[in-house]
Amino acid sequence: MASAEPSESQIRSPAGIAAGTVHEAEPSEPILRLTGIRKHYGDVVALDGVDLSLARGEFLAILGPSGSGKTTTLRIVGGFVAPDSGRIELSGRDVTALRANRRDVNTVFQSYALFPHMTVRDNVGYGLKVKRVSRAERNARISEALALVQLSHAGDRRPGELSGGMQQRVALARALVNRPSVLLLDEPLGALDRKLRDEMQLELREMQSQLGMTFMYVTHDQEEALGMSDRLVVMREGRIEQSGLPAAVYDNPATLWVAGFVGASNRLTGTVRELGELVRMECDFGSIVGAKPHGELRVGERATAVLRPEHVAITDERPASEHNAVRVQIQEVLNVGSQLRCVAFTPGGLKLSVWQSRIDGRTSVHSGEEAWLSWSPEPVHVYPDRDERASQSPPS
């Protein structure tokens, strides 16, 4: 009687790409270490055993949907929220039970919380005055902090006389003047318009690099997280889903959920037909071949292929390959600077997104026309569908 167990050739669980959560090695001598941090609000689990370390001088971004635990993590580090269990170490010292004003950290929030009746210099130096730092040292450190944020000329103004970007710089200077071991930033650019946010992103990154400071930066803005950080942590439901270099998280999402949350993606569902160096799937419109399998794939079982829109090409003629090609109708075209962003539908009604450079690709695509979409196997990730319930993408 034949065995019901699949043979090794019918199962693919690739080395180096484990199913589920993936973390890079933590810093060997961290300036900040969180161990087993848990936090509940009634029956709601805000943090579920979070382990996280920051190296001195590192820019760490924490990204996640609402309710993922990213802000709770930052507030626990800052001393504004006490964990139910776990340990927080700062420069090798246990600070879990210390109050916020006893920790060598400072926090910059989205709301600047500047004193409207005080000048910029008085706002920046307020914390030093409370700590009874001498007037001479206080003035020197205020001048240094204002110079760092390019506001030396605005010291005698009041917050109401400043633009939003300048007020944000004052809030930064107020935190920098204390020379904290770790600077915590909670959605600091969220209240700014897009152009000003882009400018402040560059300034923040340059400042952090210049000073060699350690930043923990919480944001829901993926461009900020991917573009500014040295290391990216993706959180979901109180746990760290994946951490690593920003490009590595984007290019090699560890789970189907991360693939759907970080960046834009197309999801193609089908049945696994062949396993080897490449995975071949059969879907409604034909054959898909992918080079990046994840988890334990089995021949005959359902799987989902994930493909970034920028990896899809648009042509008028049918591609030569029998795999990774589909005839579509273009429904919507957006001209976004140097990029064309298209929404297309297959004959079976599957929606696909395509981002094409206007420099390297076609210069025009029109709504209503038919075209061929194609892509190479290299950027195609394939995940087993039996993990789908645990890896549901967040709502868009």
pLDDT tens digits for the chain (396 residues)? Answer: 434 444 444 444 443 333 345 555 555 579 999 999 999 999 999 999 999 999 999 999 999 999 999 999 999 999 999 999 999 999 999 999 999 989 999 998 877 789 999 999 999 999 899 889 999 999 999 999 998 888 999 999 999 999 888 888 898 899 889 889 999 999 888 777 888 788 888 888 988 988 889 999 999 999 999 999 999 999 999 999 999 999 999 999 999 999 999 999 999 999 999 999 999 999 999 999 999 999 999 999 999 999 999 999 999 999 999 999 999 999 999 988 888 899 999 999 999 999 988 766 565 788 999 999 999 999 999 999 865 544 454 443
Query: 257-391 architecture in CATH?
Result: Beta Barrel (2.40)
* Contact (Cβ atoms closer than 8 angstroms) between residue 119 and residue 183: no
Beta pairing, strands 370-374 & 381-384: unpaired
| Unique residue bearing structure tokens 């879907």 | 283
Rg of the chain, C-alpha, whole Å: 25
Which conformational region is residue 71 in: left (phi greater than 0), alpha (psi within -120 to 50 degrees), or beta?
alpha
List phi, psi (to 5°) of 52.
Answer: -155, 140
Say what the pTM is: 0.85
Single-letter amino acid code for the residue at 172:
L
Q: Given CATH 3.30.980.10, say whether it is the number of domain 32-256.
A: no
**Calpha distance 91→81 (Å, rounded):** 20
List phi, psi (to 5°) of 137.
Answer: -70, -40
Q: What pLDDT sits at residue 4?
A: 43
Contacts of 27 (CB under 8 A, 6+ apart): 53, 54, 55, 58
**Which residues belong to CATH 2.40.50.140 in the chain?**
257-391
How would you class 214 by CB atoms within 10 Å of its CB: exposed for 0-12, middle for 13-18, buried for 19 or more?
A: buried
Per-residue DSSP letter, 375: -
How would you class 32 by CB atoms within 10 Å of its CB: exposed for 0-12, middle for 13-18, buried for 19 or more?
A: buried
**Which residues belong to CATH 3.40.50.300 in the chain?**
32-256
Beta pairing, strands 302-307 & 381-384: antiparallel
Which residues does residue 341 pair with via DSSP β-bridges, in sequence order?
A: 334, 355
Closest C-alpha to 46, from 64, 62, 65, 68: 68
Q: What pLDDT sits at residue 15?
A: 37
**Calpha distance 349→200 (Å, rounded):** 42
Q: What pLDDT sits at residue 19?
A: 39
Q: What pLDDT sits at residue 23?
A: 55
**Calpha distance 115→145 (Å, rounded):** 17
How would you class 5 by CB atoms within 10 Å of its CB: exposed for 0-12, middle for 13-18, buried for 19 or more?
A: exposed
